[in-house]
Amino acid sequence: MINKKIEQELNKQLNRELFSAYLYLSMAAYFESENLRGFAHWMKVQAKEEITHAMKFFDYIIERGAKVLLEKIDIPKISWNSVFEVFKDAYEHETKITNFIYEILNLSKNERDYATESFLKWFVEEQVEEEAQTLEIVQKLEKIKDSFTTLLILDHHLGKREE
């Protein structure tokens, strides 16, 4: 069995991963409306990845004999002023998620829940990757500035992201 506080935090994180999927879908919809189909594709793949993260929490909560409690998912932002702004938001969102993972990790250490501590290690590594890949795009967009042609090249490139 699992500690109540940890059960609650794992459920909150499950909700945050679903919200992440929602946020990235909203970003995908924004890109579709701007005819930037490559960026939209990248965000759709990202949204699917977030669903798999949510499912890892879902399965782990059940495996530990705890209860999955699905809560209301917040409404994500729906419009941005530029591609750069979207990816900057995505990057900032990932750093927030990383901090939440660290908080749950701290809690599981304090509560001597070694199983949860070990479960969360995968997410610590995953967040390094998630932050790095969004930051790389933010930095590229910073260099692109207002060149629409170069933006279309990046759009084409990101459209090739594999699932």
Interface positions with Fe ion (CB under 5 A): 17, 50, 53, 130
Taking the complex as a whole, the smallest distance from the CB of residue 40 to Fe ion amounts, in Å, to 17
Residue nearest to Fe ion (CB): 53
Q: In this complex, which beta carbon is closest to Fe ion, that of residue 50 or of residue 155?
A: 50
How far, CA to CA in Å, does 71 sit from each of 15, 49, 134, 159? Answer: 7, 20, 27, 33
Structure tokens at 108: 């599981």
Q: What torsion do the CA atoms of 57, 115, 118, 50 make, to the nearest 10 degrees?
A: 0
Taking the complex as a whole, the smallest distance from the CB of residue 11 to Fe ion amounts, in Å, to 15
Cα angle vertex 81, ends 76, 84, to 5°?
Answer: 90
Taking the complex as a whole, the smallest distance from the CB of residue 97 to Fe ion amounts, in Å, to 6
Q: In this complex, which beta carbon is closest to Fe ion, that of residue 57 or of residue 84?
A: 57
Q: In this complex, which beta carbon is closest to Fe ion, that of residue 9 or of residue 17?
A: 17
Taking the complex as a whole, the smallest distance from the CB of residue 9 to Fe ion amounts, in Å, to 15
Q: Which one, of 60, 61, 70, 56, lies nearest residue 19 by Cα?
A: 70
Determine which helix (DSSP H) or strand (DSSP E) holds 124, and give its type and residue range.
Answer: helix 114-144
Taking the complex as a whole, the smallest distance from the CB of residue 95 to Fe ion amounts, in Å, to 10
Q: How many C-beta atoms lie closer than 10 Å to residue 29's C-beta?
A: 16
Q: Which one, of 104, 111, 89, lies nearest residue 20 by Cα?
A: 89
Q: In this complex, which beta carbon is closest to Fe ion, that of residue 56 or of residue 64?
A: 56
Q: In this complex, which beta carbon is closest to Fe ion, that of residue 18 or of residue 151?
A: 18
3-class DSSP state of 111: coil
